[in-house]
Amino acid sequence: MVSLTVSMIPLLLGAVLCWSGAPKLFDRAAERRVAGTAVERMLGTGRAVPALRAVGAAELAVAAGLLVAPGPLSGAAATLLGTGFVGYLGHARATVPESSCGCTARDDAPIGTRAFLRAGAVVAAGVAATAAGTPWWQAGVDRPAAALGVLLAGAAVAALLFTETDRWLLPLRRWRLRTFGSPLERDGVEAPVPVQASVELLERSLAWEAASGAVRSGLLDSWDEDGWRFLQYAGQATGPAAGQATERSPGDATGRSPGQEGRPVWVLFALDARATLDTVGRPAVRVTVIDQDSGEVLPGALADVSTRTPLPLVS
């Protein structure tokens, strides 16, 4: 089994390097991909894009060697590439630790343990590939069932290391909550959901999208009442109601110019006080826009997002 695993590693590592290198080399929006990464901070945007494409080309070249001519030479090239990744991460961690590494051109998180594990996995797989005695296609023909099992296990490990786990682990977390209960529960009494969890849920809702044009502040206040959690923001009316508000007298104490600004408002959201991203997929959220001066409700300040045009998908 060990020899079979070693023989299949060039295929697994080659596939990973193709997946990682192709976007770096061929993506037309390379400037956007390098924005905020350690590469950009160290080299500047002008040099970061060619550097990103060069790394992508190197990954594809090594991947081609692993897939077409597995053996000591291609394995050594993969080891050298992985060692370069480790060195880059170490330097970036020391100089610009707040930046993302841009390793897979998708990860926006600062450089952390996971990035080093990915680079270390490339080094380890490269070393193992140098010892591959049988080409992966021959090993697959000789023992197809075992080879398929090795590939599935390797793909699972690669998915854990190289992909965004939060999205596909969400169903598992929800199942865990339904089965074992909320970790917030203590002595049979469920502790309040953190306010930040409610804000995170709110900011993914249609109600937030409809009112976001009016919101002008961060969260100012929150309170729970009758099972609802209320979240209060300051804002400025932007819809038809705002036009009514611009008819203020020239001596308005706020100093706002008529016809240029809407009236100051409070934007209130209400949602289930126990809801979080792990328990609710599409939460019901109520939103109200209230004039700060008169207390009048301003439904016209909400944007109509019921007929919005979907933005094009850019991958």
pLDDT, one tens digit per residue, over 154-174 is 888 888 777 766 666 677 777
C-alpha 268: how far from chain center? 28
Bridge partner list, 288: 268
**Same domain for 217 and 75:** no
Is the C-alpha dihedral spanning 55, 56, 61, 64 positive or negative?
positive
CA distances from 250 to 9, 114, 124, 247 (A): 75, 59, 73, 9
Worst-scoring range by mean pLDDT, 1-10, 126-135, 211-220, 247-256? 247-256
- pLDDT number for residue 251: 40
Model confidence over 174-220: pLDDT tens digits? 777 777 766 666 666 667 788 888 888 888 888 888 888 888 888 89
**Same domain for 198 and 159:** no
- pLDDT number for residue 249: 39
255 occurs within a structural domain: no
Q: Which of the 8 DSSP states describes residue 302?
A: S
Give CA–CA dist 267/208, Å, rounded: 10
185 occurs within a structural domain: no
Model confidence over 53-103: pLDDT tens digits? 888 899 999 999 989 888 888 889 999 988 998 888 888 888 877 777 777
Give CA–CA dist 85/121, Å, rounded: 11
**Same domain for 205 and 142:** no
Instruction: Count the neighbouring beta carbons within 10 Å of the beta carbon of residue 232.
Output: 15
267 occurs within a structural domain: yes
DSSP H or E stretch at residue 229: strand 228-236
Measure the N-to-C terminal CA separation of the chain; round to a whole number of Å. Answer: 38
The answer to whether the beta carbons of residues 285 and 268 sit under 8 Å apart is no
- Average pLDDT of every residue of the chain: 78
Phi/psi of residue 234, each to 5°?
-95, 150
Query: Could you tell me the maximum CA-CA distance found in the chain, to the nearest angstrom?
Result: 89
Residue 90 token pair = 């170490």
Model confidence over 262-297: pLDDT tens digits? 788 899 999 888 887 777 766 788 888 888 888 888
**Same domain for 92 and 139:** yes
164 occurs within a structural domain: yes
Q: Which domain holds residue 199?
A: 191-238+262-305
Last residue of one domain, picked from the residues 135, 169, 203: 169
Give CA–CA dist 268/272, Å, rounded: 14
132 occurs within a structural domain: yes
Total number of domains in the chain: 2
248 occurs within a structural domain: no
